[in-house]
């Protein structure tokens, strides 16, 4: 076994080794400095309600680390609560990743257990671990159990969108809507729909970074703590075997993640997160890989927002492995998990117990469910759509643009009875990309105009350079690249232009001749209005953020610096 990284701090008889050891003695076993030092990167926070139970999970991880002879060291890291943080949690994903990476590198740590849950937390932790490249394993905090209202299951997020549209359509009273608020969040854990948190937990397991079988375990389930303890023991072994992100994660791992993403009907946000993680590892993953690998994969999981059930049901119905087993032939058999064994080796005993929740391969919910990547004169760098969450009749559509320059502009005008819009219009919202907002918020699933909702219209084509909540649905084209604020064609579109969407042929075009588009010039308000912060993180972010098609990471964070620290502190 090679010597521990932490021994660069702790071994020796010199003054510096004395200092490093002396201050750490309080409460630790006397021989602590000879044992593997395992950090627990903990995103627990009262302001991230989805992760607030992770302190208890951390205790189980600690027990496992001690059992295996390691020293657990809790490291609170930047946490992001999707529902609280303004203007959008995505603005700080890269900051959370950078801060975690730097603290893992700066400290005498040999390996790390990553505790995440709410949307951005697992992606940020994996980006950090990839860039510092020490042995790392994820414990997903797990989804909450199902809440009910008026006898029906309530899906986090998805039912907020649905019920609020019902209020606007005059089908639900405001009182009942508000009463549903206290029933939405029934327990600890993250959103129970197939939103971004559920998606990233399962995708992290498909990548191989989670103890096999653990992802999707509901947060209040005792098996989560059991798995956390086992993960603690595993983390100590990882150090002994020097199994690092760069040795576990390969192109094959990302292949499996993309297959899984399609089969579960996962969040579109996984595209930017996986691209960013791959970028840290130097793996050449492109947005087109999602279409090429995932587009023909069947949808097998009947969960909101694409379907009906919730995460608790998925677990009861056989869990993630039962899904993977159905698409085993599409998985790369060489991709390893953190245990050293291939992912496919864990699927033999998996079984579907409720075929209404997990559908067998022969009767999929949809025959082809992956994300489609569109290109054309409106999105030269690509845009994405999740057909599983869209209306089939709108997947080929020609309509006239109604353009909004910002989310504020949208809110100010959308319910104006005079607004010239009908169900065939194409709603365009710009200025919501990584640079433009800044932070690429989840605003792309614009609510429909009240007057059309009252007429019974429930979906329209919407186009935006921002993201969409993983819990949302509709015929929404997202991540348009380049974004308006970066001078993309979206900044030159006018209300009334004809827009052509053809998902089958992967096209998104504006019917305006190229020379006329060029001559138009960009809308300055959209380009400069919000993307010009004076100082601080926002300034750094706007100056360095990359476009969605490369994961919206900061340009100087791509790649890895490894775990070496150049100099002593004293």
Residues in touch with ligand FES (CB under 6 A): 50, 82-83, 118-119, 156, 190-191, 195, 197
Query: Considering CB distances under 5 to 8 angstroms, the limit depending on partner class, which of ligand FES, Mg ion, none binds residue 191?
Result: ligand FES
Query: Considering CB distances under 5 to 8 angstroms, the limit depending on partner class, which of Mg ion, ligand FES, none binds residue 283?
Result: none
Query: Considering CB distances under 5 to 8 angstroms, the limit depending on partner class, which of ligand FES, Mg ion, none binds residue 197?
Result: ligand FES
Give me the least distance between CB of 117 and Mg ion, in Å please: 12
Task: Find the DSSP H helices in 372-513.
Answer: 407-413, 450-454
Contact set for Mg ion, span 36-95 (CB under 5 A): 82
In the bound state with ligand FES, the residue whose beta carbon lies nearer, of 472 and 510, is 472
| Distance of alpha carbon 568 from alpha carbon 126, whole angstroms | 27
Give me the least distance between CB of 158 and Mg ion, in Å please: 11
| Distance of alpha carbon 160 from alpha carbon 152, whole angstroms | 14
119 binds Mg ion (CB under 5 A): yes
In the bound state with ligand FES, the residue whose beta carbon lies nearer, of 96 and 374, is 96
Give me the least distance between CB of 239 and Mg ion, in Å please: 34
In the bound state with ligand FES, the residue whose beta carbon lies nearer, of 101 and 119, is 119
For residue 557, give every residue at least 6 positions away whose Cβ sits within 8 Å of its Cβ, in sequence order, or none. Answer: 94, 97, 98, 127, 131, 280
270 binds Mg ion (CB under 5 A): no
Query: Considering CB distances under 5 to 8 angstroms, the limit depending on partner class, which of Mg ion, ligand FES, none binds residue 228?
Result: none
Query: Considering CB distances under 5 to 8 angstroms, the limit depending on partner class, which of Mg ion, ligand FES, none binds residue 469?
Result: Mg ion
Query: Considering CB distances under 5 to 8 angstroms, the limit depending on partner class, which of Mg ion, ligand FES, none binds residue 201?
Result: none
Place of tokens 């069947």: 298
In the bound state with ligand FES, the residue whose beta carbon lies nearer, of 304 and 481, is 304
Query: Considering CB distances under 5 to 8 angstroms, the limit depending on partner class, which of ligand FES, Mg ion, none binds residue 50?
Result: ligand FES
Give me the least distance between CB of 470 and ligand FES, in Å please: 8
Give me the least distance between CB of 197 and ligand FES, in Å please: 3
- 76 burial class (0-12, 13-18, 19+ CB within 10 angstroms)? middle
Which pairs with CB-CB distance under 8 Å and at least 24 residues apart come from 331-337? 331/255, 331/256, 331/259, 332/252, 332/253, 332/255, 332/256, 334/250, 334/252, 335/208, 335/250, 335/252, 335/253, 335/255, 335/256, 336/208, 336/248, 336/250, 336/253, 337/208, 337/209, 337/210, 337/212, 337/248
Cis ω for the linkage preceding 482 (within 30 of 0) = yes
For the chain, the straight-line distance linking the first and the last C-alpha, in angstroms and rounded, comes to 29
In the bound state with Mg ion, the residue whose beta carbon lies nearer, of 65 and 464, is 464
Give me the least distance between CB of 442 and Mg ion, in Å please: 5
CA nearest to 482, candidates 410, 380, 368: 380
In the bound state with ligand FES, the residue whose beta carbon lies nearer, of 199 and 481, is 199
Contact set for Mg ion, span 431-490 (CB under 5 A): 469
Q: What are phi and psi of 142, to 5 degrees?
A: 90, 155
Query: Considering CB distances under 5 to 8 angstroms, the limit depending on partner class, which of Mg ion, ligand FES, none binds residue 190?
Result: ligand FES
**Computed from CA positions of residues 151, 390, 200, 480, in that sequence, does the dihedral angle turn out positive or negative?**
negative
In the bound state with ligand FES, the residue whose beta carbon lies nearer, of 87 and 380, is 87
User: In the numeric block, which tokens belong to residue 203?
Assistant: 């995708």
Give me the least distance between CB of 264 and ligand FES, in Å please: 15
In the bound state with ligand FES, the residue whose beta carbon lies nearer, of 118 and 285, is 118
Give me the least distance between CB of 2 and Mg ion, in Å please: 41
User: In the numeric block, which tokens belong to residue 216?
Assistant: 């999707």
230 binds Mg ion (CB under 5 A): no
| Distance of alpha carbon 245 from alpha carbon 253, whole angstroms | 11
Q: What are phi and psi of 462, to 5 degrees?
A: -130, 140
C-beta of residue 304 within 8 angstroms of C-beta of residue 193 = yes
CA nearest to 8, candidates 41, 37, 30: 37
Give me the least distance between CB of 44 and ligand FES, in Å please: 13
Give me the least distance between CB of 187 and ligand FES, in Å please: 13
The secondary structure of residue 220, as a DSSP letter, is: T
In the bound state with ligand FES, the residue whose beta carbon lies nearer, of 472 and 478, is 472
289 binds Mg ion (CB under 5 A): no
Positions touching Mg ion (CB under 5 A) are 82, 119, 196, 469
């Amino acid at each position: 076994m090679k010597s521990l990284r932490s021994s660069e701090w702790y071994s020796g008889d010199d003054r510096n080794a004395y200092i490093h050891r002396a201050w750490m003695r309080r409460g630790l076993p006397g021989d602590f400095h000879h044992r593997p030092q395992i950090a627990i990167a903990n995103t627990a926070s009262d302001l991230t309600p989805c992760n607030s139970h992770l302190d208890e999970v951390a205790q189980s991880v600690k027990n496992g680390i001690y059992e295996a002879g390691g020293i657990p060291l809790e490291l609170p890291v930047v946490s992001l609560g999707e529902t609280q943080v303004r203007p959008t949690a995505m603005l700080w994903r890269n900051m959370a990743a950078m801060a975690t990476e730097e603290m893992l590198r700066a400290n005498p740590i040999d390996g790390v257990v990553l505790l995440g849950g709410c949307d951005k937390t697992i992606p940020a932790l994996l980006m950090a671990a990839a860039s510092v490249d020490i042995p790392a394993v994820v414990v997903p905090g797990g989804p909450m159990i199902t809440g009910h209202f008026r006898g029906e299951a309530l899906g986090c997020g998805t039912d907020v969108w649905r019920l609020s549209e019902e209020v606007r359509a005059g089908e639900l009273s405001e009182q009942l809507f508000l009463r549903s608020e206290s029933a939405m969040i029934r327990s600890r854990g993250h959103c129970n729909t197939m939103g971004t948190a559920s998606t990233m937990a399962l995708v992290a397991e498909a990548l191989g970074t989670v103890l096999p079988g653990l992802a999707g375990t509901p947060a209040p389930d005792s098996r989560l703590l059991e798995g956390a303890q086992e993960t603690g023991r595993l983390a100590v072994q990882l150090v002994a075997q020097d199994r690092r992100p760069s040795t576990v994660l390969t192109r094959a791992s990302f292949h499996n993640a993309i297959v899984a993403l399609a089969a579960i009907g996962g969040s579109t946000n996984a595209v930017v997160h996986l691209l960013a993680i791959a970028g840290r590892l130097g793996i050449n993953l492109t947005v087109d890989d999602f279409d090429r690998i995932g587009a023909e994969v069947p949808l097998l999981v009947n969960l909101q927002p694409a379907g009906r059930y919730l995460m608790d049901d998925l677990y009861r119905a056989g869990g993630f492995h039962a899904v993977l087993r159905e698409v085993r032939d599409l998985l790369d058999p060489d991709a390893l998990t953190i245990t050293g064994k291939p992912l496919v080796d864990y699927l033999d005993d998996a079984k579907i117990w409720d075929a209404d929740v997990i559908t067998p391969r022969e009767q999929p919910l949809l025959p082809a469910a992956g994300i489609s990547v569109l290109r054309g004169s409106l999105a030269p760098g690509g845009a994405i759509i999740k057909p599983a969450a869209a209306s089939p009749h709108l997947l080929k559509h020609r309509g006239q643009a109604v353009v909004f320059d910002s989310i504020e502009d949208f809110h100010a005008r959308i319910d104006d009875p005079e607004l010239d819009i009908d169900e065939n219009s194409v709603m365009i919202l710009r200025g919501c990309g990584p640079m433009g907002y800044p932070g690429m918020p989840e605003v792309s699933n614009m609510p429909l105009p009240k007057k059309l909702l009252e007429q019974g219209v429930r979906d329209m084509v919407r186009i935006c350079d921002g993201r969409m909540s993983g819990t949302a649905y509709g015929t929404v084209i997202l991540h348009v690249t380049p974004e308006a604020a970066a001078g993309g064609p979206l900044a030159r579109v006018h209300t009334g232009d004809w827009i052509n969407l053809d998902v089958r042929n992967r096209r998104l075009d504006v019917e305006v001749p190229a020379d006329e588009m060029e001559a138009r010039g960009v809308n300055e308000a959209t380009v400069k209005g919000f993307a010009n912060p004076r100082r601080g993180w926002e300034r750094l972010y706007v100056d360095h953020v990359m476009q969605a098609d490369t994961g919206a990471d900061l340009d100087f964070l791509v790649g890895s610096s490894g775990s070496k620290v150049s100099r002593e502190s004293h």
